[in-house]
Amino acid sequence: LLGLSIATLSTVTQYGLRFTLISNVSLDSNSYRVIHHTAFYFGICLSMTLILAALLSSAATVRESQCLTAMGFFCFALAFCGLIPAVCWRYTHSTEVEDSMMDVYDFVYEEVRRNTSSFRRHELTAIHEAFLCCGKRSPFGDTTSVEHKTCPPSQVHDEGQDCLQEIQDFLKKHMDFVFSLLGIAIGFTVYGMILTSFLCFSIHFSSNLYRKGKYILR
């Protein structure tokens, strides 16, 4: 279940409307696209590893196979070794994802403000509709022509949410959920390693509940 949850979250992150819009607009010099694809492939590999570990452990328990138990332990250990660097990266680069995503919006906004490119204006309009926001807050409190051309009418009249703030809030919630799930995954991988190692030693020392072979009376 944990593996399926991580696979589902990775798919939503990869193909979700908001993430896809920003990824398609970002330039090669921006790190967001690399982070976006890396997160997807990491999540899929992690979910497959956890699912494989669970299947191997279940089969090892039923068949009392020391080899399958060792393979299950290896899968749990592999998942754990992947999770630790991911969590450390999050804490050492705590704002990199948010900053790169807001840089993409800033680039598109300034491109539309400097010229009347219909292509960039279409992209900015799509971002406004996806995030339900409208432009950037001006220190003078006025609304520029960019907002009038690219924001939904309801957002312009109601002074919609600042897009930079909306993007930051959205990503913060999403990343908190992602790393809460990764924290749970770390706990389960440690638990899985303990159980599989215990099972492996139990099989090795023939202390399992069901003994194979015959007893000899002396």
Task: Confirm if 49 and 75 have CB atoms less than 8 A apart.
Answer: yes
**Closest alpha carbon to 205 in 67, 66, 76:** 66
Rounded Cα distance between 75 and 195, Å, is 13
Is residue 66 assigned to a domain? yes
Is residue 122 assigned to a domain? no
Rounded Cα distance between 136 and 143, Å, is 9
Burial class from Cβ neighbours inside 10 Å (0-12, 13-18, 19+) for residue 215 reads exposed
Please state the rounded mean pLDDT for residues 88-103: 86
208: tokens are 């399992």
Q: Which domain holds residue 11?
A: 1-97+161-210
- At residue 112, the pLDDT reads 86
- At residue 80, the pLDDT reads 93
Instruction: Specify the pTM.
Output: 0.80
pLDDT digits (tens, 9 = 90+) for 53-94: 999 988 888 887 888 888 989 999 999 999 999 889 888 887
Task: Confirm if 86 and 182 have CB atoms less than 8 A apart.
Answer: yes
Is residue 116 assigned to a domain? no
pLDDT digits (tens, 9 = 90+) for 103-152: 999 889 888 888 766 788 888 889 988 888 888 875 544 456 677 777 87
Is residue 140 assigned to a domain? no
Is residue 165 assigned to a domain? yes
Taking the CB of residue 66, how many other CB atoms lie within 10 A of it? 15
Taking the CB of residue 112, how many other CB atoms lie within 10 A of it? 24
Is residue 7 assigned to a domain? yes
Is residue 61 assigned to a domain? yes
- At residue 213, the pLDDT reads 53
Query: What's the structural domain count of the chain?
Result: 1
| Residues ≥6 apart with Cβ < 8 Å to 23 | 32, 33, 36
Rounded Cα distance between 181 and 6, Å, is 8
Rounded Cα distance between 166 and 168, Å, is 5
Is residue 134 assigned to a domain? no
